[in-house]
Structure 1
């Protein structure tokens, strides 16, 4: 598939608390065919750890 499914963009940044739900969202993007772009960004908002992970749709010839 040369374009992401469901009309999704080629580049996405997933964000949220560092919990099971966030990990599942990243895993689902990988299962769709996205690839991780670099490592995650992590911060602490005073209450919990917040993570951002960019994913990209790979260029296919």
Structure 2
């Protein structure tokens, strides 16, 4: 089964740590990151798609993808 997640958040060190943690749990980057500017908060928001292959399991919509 292939899993997909889109991680988003303020473009700061905590976002980079979330991506790093996912990579160390077997996730891989999928495509380039994206950024946008939130004019209401003055923050730059980053997004990065990640994917992971998991053998021996079937996908179900109730799965907590972050725990896979």
TM-score relative to the length of structure 1: 0.77
State the match for 1:27 in structure 2. 20
Pick aligned residue for 1:56 from 51, 59, 62: 51
Alpha-carbon deviation of 1:58?
3.7
RMSD: 2.0
Q: Which structure has greater helix proportion?
A: 1
Q: What is the Cα deviation at residue 10 of structure 1?
A: 1.1
Structure 1 segments unaligned to the other structure (5+ residues): 4-8
Higher Rg of the two aligned structures:
2
Match of 1:57, SS state, is strand
Cα pair 1:34 1:57 within 8 Å, conserved: yes
5+ long unaligned stretches in structure 2:
56-68
